[in-house]
Homo-oligomer: A and B are copies of this chain.
Amino acid sequence: MLKTHNCGELRLAHIDQSVTLCGWVQRVRDKGALLFVDLRDRYGVTQLVAREGETAPELIERIRNLGREFVLQAQGKVVERASKNPEMPTGNIEIELIQLDILNASKTPPFTIEDETDGGEELRMKYRYLDLRRNIVRKNLELRHRLNRETRQYLDSQEFIEVETPVLIKSTPEGARDFVVPSRMNEGQFYALPQSPQTFKQLLMVSGFDRYYQIVKCFRDEDLRADRQPEFTQIDCEMTFVNQEDILNTFEGMIKHLFKTVKDIDLEDFPRMTFADAMKFYGSDKPDIRFEMKFVELNEIAQNKGFKVFDDAQLVAGICAKGCAEYTRKQLDELTDWVKRPQIGAKGLVYVKCNADGTFKSSVDKFFAEEDLKTWATALQAEPGDLLLVLSGDTDKVRKQLGELRLEMGSRLGLRDKNVFSPLWVIDFPLLEWDEDSQRWYAMHHPFTSPKTEDIPLVEAGKLGEVRANAYDMVMNGVELGGGSIRIYQRPMQEKMLSILGFSDEEARNQFGFLMDAFEFGAPPHGGIAFGFDRLCSMFGGADSIRDFIAFPKNNSGRDVMLDSPSAISEEQLKELAIGLRK
């Protein structure tokens, strides 16, 4: 080794030892007679010191010529500091320099290598290798490593086996777009990159692997929204001879294990909520239950009082914002504008102030008596000082809009603390959803999800919208961490499902024939779950974006600006692959 210790480990116990450190120049301080160099590596920072008159003059000269981010090998003696720095783990000691070699120089970095950097996103991504030098970014990746380790630790303890499934697979048109890979050896044919190892893990269950996991890269060629990446990592799991309850317990256990070991937080048992309740009370299939503010439906008490907007509405529903009765006219106007933005799309906002003196003041005083408003307040369990916010219209839209408003009010009221973690299982998802545009049914989860046994008669009866699936999502703080289902494991049901989803017999055979064949050779009941690992890391890191938990992320156009990729390839390469570019 070029060093005897790292830059984070020396303490008073090392006093008088002769040591060699390697690292990067964080800072040089030239006090005239005294020179200090802060030397940094992954493990910490150690102060080097040189003294005019004591240290060799050429060494002092060398220090005076150091720049930020120079790579040094420093040899010296550990001494106790005169003025200690209790903020630094190595703050009790410093190294009296005896020898100093520059292993590599550095140009001035395009941005500062500090937690608070002056570099913008684009610049940081172009020089990602320098961005990764920042403590704050490196710590994210260390957290990711830790979570990866503890995930494996837990799953291993539960007898799961990691099995690697292939990356070069077969393209299937269901779901998002596949990335494809032209095959040189099989001219005119393409592999696809997996959107998930779904069918493979099911085959492993057919093979009797019993408990499978994999922490695995998956790929989706989607138009990228702010926080999506074309390649992402999944914790992918599957179990045999289980029912839904077993899976929920096993993976609730996993998340509890991660919180305990990585953050020393004991999570309580996760509450469960049906999809129907999640939509009814929170307007979302991934409710943020760090705070209450549940929807209350007001149709019975607010309709037929002569307010046409409500009377024509499918749903009138409100939330109670605690302590907001003091909102000014300006604040209420601003909130009304907020819900009317195209992203939310509400037509208007009805408010009721529950004044401290027991009176009520609303934006619909013309239509409702104080007594009416009082019944609303009672329904919404409001107290004097609270503000009621009411939306009306088409049920699905109101729920969505009120859900957004609820989150907004939660944020404004400081109810969404990043250090509070409120997990939740959402269960009993619908099996299918109807798409008006394409006039067909889509699988809400995926085509391999089984209907609830008691709802199978509804499938037979063609009441497809009412069929519930054995599907579940794990939600935390309003974010979906993972989701899964108990699978279909018998050929006739799988055929039926593919037919409902619009597959012809031939298409079904062509794309999923291998899976349906497998179901005929003793397929066991099985089910599983997959967690978005990038998302899980950002949740643990208390961040909104997944990008800083990925070493080399791509931008919103799917580009790696550091590599300048994707890029053109040579005509020769295209020719070998038997493909050409279209104009």
Contact = CB atoms under 8 A, between A and B. Distances in A.
Interface of A: 1-3, 6, 22-25, 40-43, 69-71, 73, 103-107, 109, 127-130, 132-133, 138, 141-142, 144-145, 148-149, 152, 156, 161-171, 173, 177-186, 188-193, 200, 203-204, 206-210, 217, 219, 221, 223-224, 230-231, 233, 240-243, 246, 489-490, 514, 517-525, 550-552, 554, 557-560, 562-570, 573, 575-582
B579 A525 contact: no
Contacts of A560: 166, 168-170
A180 B133 contact: no
Given A171-B569, A208-B41, A184 B177 contact: yes
A170 B489 contact: no
A236 to B, nearest CB: 13
Contacts of A550: 164
A521 B130 contact: yes
Contacts of A186: 557-559, 566
A132 B579 contact: no
B41 A564 contact: no
Count of this chain's copies in the oligomeric assembly: 2
Nearest to A25: B522
Contacts of A207: 129-130, 132-133, 138
A570 to B, nearest CB: 7
Contacts of A573: 171, 177-178, 180
Given A129-B207, A130-B207, A522-B104, A551 B164 contact: yes
A260 to B, nearest CB: 19
Nearest to A514: B562
A393 to B, nearest CB: 36
B42 A208 contact: yes
A560 to B, nearest CB: 7
Q: Which A-B residue pairs are the 8 nearest by beta carbons?
A: A106-B522, A170-B565, A132-B207, A189-B566, A69-B522, A183-B566, A2-B241, A22-B241
A159 to B, nearest CB: 8
15 contacts: A104-B490, A106-B520, A129-B203, A144-B164, A166-B552, A168-B179, A168-B231, A168-B554, A171-B567, A180-B182, A186-B557, A217-B217, A514-B563, A514-B564, A575-B582
Given A164-B551, A170-B565, A568-B190, A104 B152 contact: no
Contacts of A128: 203
A224 B184 CA distance: 12
A141 B210 CA distance: 13
Given A71-B522, A138-B209, A181-B180, A156 B166 contact: no
A149 B149 contact: no
B180 A103 contact: no
Contacts of A129: 203-204, 206-207, 518, 521
A105 to B, nearest CB: 7
B578 A581 contact: yes
Contact of A568 (B144, B188, B580): B188
Given A183-B558, A189-B568, A581-B579, A169 B563 contact: yes
Given A167-B219, A525-B103, A566 B191 contact: yes
A142 to B, nearest CB: 6
A73 B240 CA distance: 12
Nearest to A42: B210
A376 to B, nearest CB: 48
Contact of A2 (B166, B242, B582): B242
B569 A190 contact: yes
B148 A162 contact: yes
A302 to B, nearest CB: 47
A567 B190 contact: yes
A243 B520 CA distance: 57
Contact of A170 (B41, B203, B206, B564): B564
Contacts of A165: 551-552
A179 B181 contact: yes
A188 B524 contact: no
Nearest to A162: B145
B167 A231 contact: yes
A183 B567 CA distance: 9
A402 to B, nearest CB: 34
A173 B569 CA distance: 9
A71 B149 CA distance: 35
Given A1-B246, A217-B167, A521 B182 contact: no
A242 B188 CA distance: 48
Given A2-B241, A191-B566, A204-B551, 10 more contacts: A2-B242, A2-B525, A42-B209, A104-B524, A107-B521, A149-B162, A180-B182, A180-B577, A189-B567, A575-B582
A190 B181 CA distance: 10
A522 B24 contact: yes
A204 B169 contact: no
A567 B563 CA distance: 30
